[in-house]
Structure 1
Amino acid sequence: MNEAKNLPDLRQHLSTLDAAAGLRYLAEAFPGGVTFSSSLGKEDQVITHLIAAENLPIHIFSLDTGRLFPETLDLLARTTARYSSPIEVIYPPQEPLERWVRTNGINGFYESIEKRKGCCALRKVEGLKRGLAGKQVWITGLRAEQSENRASMPLLEWDSNFHLFKYNPLLHWTDADVDAFIEKEAVPYNPLHDKGYPSIGCAPCTRAIQPGEDSRAGRWWWESSHKECGLHVK
């Protein structure tokens, strides 16, 4: 059931289910094969809550890039304590990252898109590969409202880069939907969200946005385009 040819049937079935039911269905259909990569953003916190509330056998992992905000690391600790559920923390490969820093400098990612992508590849993509290894379904917190690129993403897709299904259970949730759920269920979230940071990544690569700006405008803010890091490739 884990081959791309099953995509239309799976997508059709999941379209009839809400987020919690969709997660439950996939956990039952792919026992031991479902994993959730959490960046600890609001959407991801909602999904963690749904997994914990249903006690679903879904593996959860998060990437510690080595450049995260202190608030993000604190949220990781609070989340683990709140849900009494282990979240695997994956770190960048030490030696390749050290070589990259020696060659490009600690903040070399500011110099070009190519260098920034190289930094993201080591700090994020390599860890993601390890987190997804051996899995059949990858759960994400992507939402259509987040960016123009993500607006065209389907509820379920076949990720040809990592060779597994990719499920976006909150794809059609709005900002208001996410905030309402967090308030209703008292879900822990990053206090930086209340300071103008709708999308939070590494500290040197994230700034607060101004009124009217796209929610991804604060990510890699010195670049004029390509507001993705390589984790989600269409």
Structure 2
Amino acid sequence: MTSFNHDIEALNKELSSKSPREIIKFALSSFDNIAVSFSGAEDVVLIELAHKLANPLQVFSLDTGRLHPETYRFIDQVRNHYNIDIETMSPQPEKLQALTKAKGLFSFYEDGHSECCGIRKIEPLRRKLATVDAWITGQRKDQSPGTRSNVAVVEIDEAFSTPDKKLIKFNPLANWSSEDVWNYIKMSEAPYNQLHEKGYISIGCEPCTRPVLPNQHEREGRWWWEEATHKECGLHAGNIEK
């Protein structure tokens, strides 16, 4: 880790006026061991912006075992397009088998998605983040009406920090809109998940994701059977007020 002694509040204020490319350049120059989290359209923008700034660029993705076939093909498409390695993090088989044996494959429809996401997403993410000093995500303020409106450009990730290490999280696209993201994808001819052409906007696991109707918010396609303002799986648990 490069020496990082910045006041986070002051740094966030300074970086908030910068472009995503400038923010990513600062992040990559500040940390030797930093990774980009990859899953969707916003993350392709991050890779498009970052792949020429770091060699090698450390990228990881969470393979929950329940993704759409299109998403698996998309991951390989991005790997080949940018000629980068993408580390896929999978859930621990023992914990997954215990859940499905006790409750079946679709228990989240009855008792909420937290337990399943905890096993398929949070534990693998925690395992990965324990190996890095900082990470870069594609979070935007307008992605969720109840949980992301205050997303900072840079922050201490309290959810995944440990007593021994403060984990730094960068959100270079915090101030971008969905329109900004797609304009950049079209301009740069970056690859994207083919599900976007079928009405999907926010894409997660296959059983928990559906297309949205015109004028619906993008997160209404995720965990649609649950409270609309709390559409988080725990990857960004710090967004949810305790």
TM-score (norm: length of structure 2): 0.89
Are 2:160 and 1:162 aligned?
A: yes
Q: Secondary structure at the match of 2:237?
A: coil
Matches within 5 A, 1:2-151: 2=4, 6-32=7-33, 34-39=34-39, 41-55=40-54, 57-113=56-112, 116-148=113-145, 149-151=147-149
Q: Distance in 1 between matches of 2:55 and 2:23?
A: 11
Task: Name 1:204's counterpart in structure 2.
Answer: 207
Q: Secondary structure at the match of 1:111?
A: helix
Q: Distance in 2 between matches of 1:11 and 1:123?
A: 31
Task: Name 2:164's counterpart in structure 1.
Answer: none
CA drift of 1:179 comes to: 1.1
Identity %: 41
Q: Is the 8 A contact 2:201 2:218 kept in 1?
A: yes
Q: What CA RMSD, in Å, does the superposition of the two structures yield over aligned residues?
A: 1.5
**Gapped regions of structure 2 (runs ≥ 5):** 162-166
**Gapped regions of structure 1 (runs ≥ 5):** none
The alignment of Structure 1 onto Structure 2 pairs a total of residues equal to 229
Q: Secondary structure at the match of 2:195?
A: helix
- Select the residue among 217, 220, 235 that pairs with 1:214: 217
Please list the CA deviations of residues 207-226 of structure 1 after superposition, one character each: whole Å capped at 9, or x if unmatched.
01111211100101111342
Q: Is the 8 A contact 2:57 2:84 kept in 1?
A: no
Are 2:193 and 1:193 aligned?
A: no
Q: Secondary structure at the match of 2:35?
A: strand
Please list the CA deviations of residues 107-158 of structure 1 after superposition, one character each: whole Å capped at 9, or x if unmatched.
1111112xx2110000000111112113222211011121112112111111
Q: Which amino acid aligns with 1:63?
A: L
Q: Is the 8 A contact 1:27 1:57 kept in 2?
A: no
Q: Is the 8 A contact 1:27 1:58 kept in 2?
A: no
Are 2:231 and 1:227 aligned?
A: yes
Runs of 4+ in 1 over 3 A off after TM superposition: 55-58
Matches within 5 A, 1:164-183: 164-183=167-186
Q: Secondary structure at the match of 1:62?
A: strand
Please list the CA deviations of residues 67-114 of structure 1 after superposition, one character each: whole Å capped at 9, or x if unmatched.
00000000011110000010101111011100110011011111112x
TM-score (norm: length of structure 1): 0.92
Please list the CA deviations of residues 183-224 of structure 1 after superposition, one character each: whole Å capped at 9, or x if unmatched.
111100011112111100000000011112111001011113
Please list the CA deviations of residues 19-61 of structure 1 after superposition, one character each: whole Å capped at 9, or x if unmatched.
11211111111122x111111x110111111111333554210
